[in-house]
Amino acid sequence: MSNEQERPRMAFGWAARDSSGVLSPFSFSRRESGDKDVTFKVLYCGICHSDLHMVKNEWGFSTYPLVPGHEIVGEVTEVGSNVQKFKVGDKVDVGGIVGACRSCDSCTDHIENYCPKLILTYSAKYYDGTTTYGGYSDIMVADEHFVVRIPDNLPLDCAAPLLCAGITTYSPLRYFGLDKPGMHVGVVGLGGLGHVAVKFAKAMGVKVTVISTSPNKKEEAVKHLGADSFLVSRDQDQMQSHGKLVMLGVPEKPLELPVFPLLMGRKMVASSGGGRMKETQEMIDFAAKHNITADIEVIPIDYLNTAMERLAKADVRYRFVIDIGNTLKASS
């Protein structure tokens, strides 16, 4: 490892200092880059609802100062001496995790997202004891194992949310066998995850029903996103027909789960969290092949706090993406 590779990297971004969740400019150091690390200039970063939960410490494990962002797109500026998969100039993505033990059963089975020692992209401790910071910043350093290549035909801004919303929906469609023509999938909620789930499922040849509390979303679901049908979740008769529920979002409070209705009809409640790295690359390649992108609203960095307020009200269609490359320096 060269002396040049070992030095910490000065970085600039926006951070929350406390549970008020207000973000402001923040200078910090990235960890030292090693021989397996990829350093890249951040161009875009999506805003996930998880970021909103984290800046406000609604899940109880946030550490401050906190630089959010786990839908990070950029261009490689430097690679370590042992990096095999990437070169300077490549367009890349980093999602929700930047480390794992690489030796447990989950890692051995290549499902790093379920490693008990996984390292989150921000507000966690890296192997060397440094704090991880997310993509609301100008540069990123990550082990190449946790970096994904973006195909040339995929727009970078629209690709950013796929590293969270995309893989979070793609993975359960594959794992639970809901990816075969003739299957019928219900997508609950037409938001950041839901709208991408509809696109992936339709590309897999699956019949899709969008389930929503808002009847006024029917036209959007059917005409714009191509869903086959639409169901209002408050209609109990219509809701009786579904038999397998896969939880993807993380509510602020625990859910109450009556067991008796599950017994009638052998219904199932399951879950899925993110996706493994090989599957994440597969998802990005599938998206490029089928022209699947997120529907986004691109914003400058100084609109960030307003975007967070709008996100809390579900006032976005369907994902905010920060134009880091063109606006972060201007506000520094």
Between CA 132 and CA 29 the distance in angstroms is 10
**DSSP bridge pairs for 94:** 72
- Select the CATH number that applies to the domain covering 166-271 from these four: 3.40.50.720, 3.30.70.20, 3.40.190.10, 1.10.10.10: 3.40.50.720
Between CA 330 and CA 324 the distance in angstroms is 10
- 144 near 38, Cβ under 8 Å? yes
pLDDT in tens, 65-107: 999 999 999 999 999 999 999 999 999 999 999 999 999 999 9
How sure is the predictor about 241, in pLDDT bands with cuts at 50, 70 and 90? low
Between CA 141 and CA 220 the distance in angstroms is 39
Q: Residue 4: is its pLDDT beyond 70?
A: no
Over the chain, what HEC string results?
CCHHHHCCEEEEEEEECCCCCCEEEEEEEECCCCCCEEEEEEEEEEECHHHHHHHCCCCCCCCCCECCCCCEEEEEEEECCCCCCCCCCCEEEECCEEECCCCCHHHHCCCHHHCCCCEECCCCECCCCCECCCCCECEEEEEHHHCEECCCCCCHHHHHHHHCHHHHHHHHHHHCCCCCCCCEEEEECCCHHHHHHHHHHHHCCCEEEEEECCHHHHHHHHHHCCCCEEEECCCHHHHCCCCEEEECCCCCCCCCCCCHHHHCCCCEEEECCCCCHHHHHHHHHHHHHCCCCCCEEEECHHHHHHHHHHHHCCCCCCEEEEEHHHHHHHHC
pTM here is 0.92
Put residue 3 in one of left, alpha, beta given phi > 0 → left and psi -120 to 50 → alpha.
alpha
pLDDT in tens, 154-200: 999 999 999 999 999 999 999 999 999 989 999 999 999 999 999 99
- 327 near 301, Cβ under 8 Å? yes
Q: pLDDT averaged over the chain?
A: 92
pLDDT in tens, 273-288: 899 999 999 999 999 9
pLDDT in tens, 290-332: 999 999 999 999 999 999 999 999 999 999 999 999 999 744 4
Between CA 119 and CA 123 the distance in angstroms is 9
Contacts of 206 (CB under 8 A, 6+ apart): 173, 178, 179, 180, 181, 182, 183, 184, 185
Between CA 230 and CA 209 the distance in angstroms is 5
- 137 near 12, Cβ under 8 Å? yes
Query: What tokens does 93 get?
Result: 């993505």
How sure is the predictor about 10, in pLDDT bands with cuts at 50, 70 and 90? very high
Q: Residue 1: is its pLDDT beyond 50?
A: no
Between CA 123 and CA 34 the distance in angstroms is 21
Domain segments of the chain as ranges: 9-164+295-323, 166-271
Q: What is the pLDDT of residue 332?
A: 44
- 108 near 116, Cβ under 8 Å? no
**DSSP bridge pairs for 186:** 209
How sure is the predictor about 6, in pLDDT bands with cuts at 50, 70 and 90? low
Backbone φ and ψ of 280, nearest 5°: -65, -40
Between CA 280 and CA 171 the distance in angstroms is 8
How sure is the predictor about 7, in pLDDT bands with cuts at 50, 70 and 90? low
CATH classification (class only), 9-164+295-323: alpha beta
Between CA 236 and CA 298 the distance in angstroms is 38
How much is the average pLDDT of 38-44? 97
Q: Taking the chain, what is the end-to-end CA distance rounded to the nearest angstrom?
A: 32
